Amino acid sequence: MEAPEEHAHDHEFVDIIESDTIFAYAEAVHEVITLQFNHRGIALNLVYEEALELAKVMQAIKEHCDKRGKQSA
């Protein structure tokens, strides 16, 4: 467990986006993005580099679905 002096700063949480199923927010001090999948009870904590990589992957998935005629949200 962290001693109080090791974690004596305030955290700043910034909402990014919220849908019926997913909520994303940033914790600015530690540069962490959290993706919370509400119905599944899963939360992913990603450093910014990982979040940017995931964004590229998700864009490629969106493009794939669009090519196959699936409706994008």
Residues in contact with 72: Cβ distance below 8 Å, sequence separation at least 6, in sequence order: 62, 65, 66
> Per the domain annotation, does 17 fall within a domain?
yes
> Per the domain annotation, does 42 fall within a domain?
yes
Q: What is the 3-state secondary structure (H, E, C) of 5-72?
A: HHHCCCCCEEEEEECCCEEEEEECCCCEEEEEECCCCEEEEEEHHHHHHHHHHHHHHHHHHHHCCCCC
> Per the domain annotation, does 30 fall within a domain?
yes
Domain count, the chain: 1
> Per the domain annotation, does 15 fall within a domain?
yes
Percent of the chain with pLDDT over 90: 67
Provide mean pLDDT across the span 51-58: 96
> Per the domain annotation, does 4 fall within a domain?
no
- Rounded CA separation 18/36 (Å): 9
- Rounded CA separation 64/25 (Å): 26
pLDDT per position as a tens digit, 12-33: 899 999 999 999 999 988 899 9
> Per the domain annotation, does 2 fall within a domain?
no
> Per the domain annotation, does 73 fall within a domain?
no
Structure confidence at residue 17 (pLDDT): 94
> Per the domain annotation, does 1 fall within a domain?
no
pTM of the complete model beyond 0.75: no
Provide mean pLDDT across the span 34-52: 95
Domain, as residue range, for 56: 9-67
